[in-house]
Structures are given as C-alpha cells and as structure tokens.
Amino acid sequence: MTPPTIAIVDYGMGNRRSVEKALARVGADAVITDDHAKLRSADGLLLPGVGAFPAAMAVIGQRGLDRVITDCAAAGTPVFGSCLGMQLLFERSEEHGGSEGLGLLAGTVTRLRAPGLKLPHIGWSAVHWRMAGPGATPVPAALGAGLPDPTFLYHVHSFVAWPTDEELLLAVANYGEPFAAVVGKGNVWGTQSHPEKSSTQGLRLLASFVAMCSDRAQGGGTPGGGTHAAAAA
C-alpha cells in the first residue's frame, strides 16, 4: 500500500523537522512545504507550531496559507493541528492583544489560568478521554484509537482553547485548571501537546492521523464523518 502524503504546513514556526521524522516513523510520506499546489494535493495536512498566535496568523495570511488550509478542510482533507497549530484552528485568540484564527473550529484561545504555577506549562500531563455517555467508560475518539486512559503527552504552552461546542472536546488535561487537550470534529483535529515529543503514545496518536489520511487516500472517506466543523456549528 502506498503511504499517504502528509504535508506539514510551513509558515516558519515550529519544530517541523521533528514532526517530519515522527510522521515518517509511523508510515507517512511527509513533506514540509508552503507550496499551495502540494498542500492541496496532499492526503492530509499537519499544522505544527511554537510561538505566538498573532505572529503565526500574520505569516499564514501573508503566504496565502489560510485560504489553502480552509479550502482543504472544506474538501474533506484531514487536518491536524498540534500545540499552537491546534489553537490556530479556532476562531480567535486573546494573545498579545488578540488575533483572528482559521475558524475551522468554534471557540476562543485564552491564557491558561494556573495561579501559583509557572507558565508556560512545560512537561508531561495525563490526558483523559471524555466519557462516551452517561455511565459509559472512556472511549477514545478516532484520533486516540488504541490509546490508554489516561494518555500521557508532553506539553509546552501558556494558552488554551475553549471550544464553543462541547462536542469538539475529546480529551482534557489539567494544569491549574482543566483544559482542552484533544479536540476535533469531522476531518479537523488537534492536540495541545507535542505528539512528536511524547514518546510511544505520541507516535500512536500520529499513527491514528496517518491511518485517517491513508483511508481517505484509498477512497474510504474520513473517520468522524463529514467535513470540518464550521465556526457556526
């Protein structure tokens, strides 16, 4: 079977090489690019990120990547954001005076409320998958297939996303307050962690995304059903 091509969106911020190596380890043909044609033809997009939300969106807008990412999501291409990349999927952030995001998921990014604790939050956190229903046992979403509850992932962040739609919240972690650790709906997904730095469990998380991209490349559709969750969802 031909490995799926996953384009790592290159906007000059984030540990792109580490992400590329991690994706290759779990069976993807990974390419770092800001070329619009390559992004549009990929089987999946991964939006990495380290740094400030407004600066990231400024570069993304200057390179015309915002339109490419949203077009791909609307066409059903699996999109995955990690750390800052997850936050960029949302409508807006209050960081450094505020900035509009990609608007693929409904919600706002705010500063992590962690009184008495150091920021940024740096280290491993227990990520708890949400319950499937009243009285049910935790069931990981497609992105967390095969992962334990809790899953331990490595985080570096001072801001967190607050989804407007509770259905977007797939897993939570805690640092001073509970925060969205994994989000997603349809073909748009994100994790506040750095899966490429999260050892075996992080690689398994990436492997689940690669499997989604492979499924779509083979004509099997996108796990989770339908296209992306619009901001109005």
Where are the extended beta strands (E) located within the chain? 5-9, 29-33, 44-47, 79-82, 90-93, 99-100, 105-111, 121-129, 151-157, 159-163, 169-174, 178-185, 188-191
Give which of 104, 110, 83, 88 is closest to 18, Cα–Cα: 83
Identified catalytic residue from 83, 91, 121, 213: 83
> How long is the chain?
233
Which class for 149: exposed (0-12), middle (13-18), buried (19 or more C-beta within 10 A)? middle
The pair of structure tokens assigned to 174 is 């805690």
C-alpha dihedral over 125, 193, 13, 22, to 10 degrees? 110
CB 206 within 8 A of CB 215: no
Q: How many CB atoms lie within 10 A of CB 170?
A: 23
Q: In the annotation, is 194 catalytic?
A: yes
CB 112 within 8 A of CB 161: no
Q: In the annotation, is 83 catalytic?
A: yes
Residues belonging to the active site? 83, 194, 196
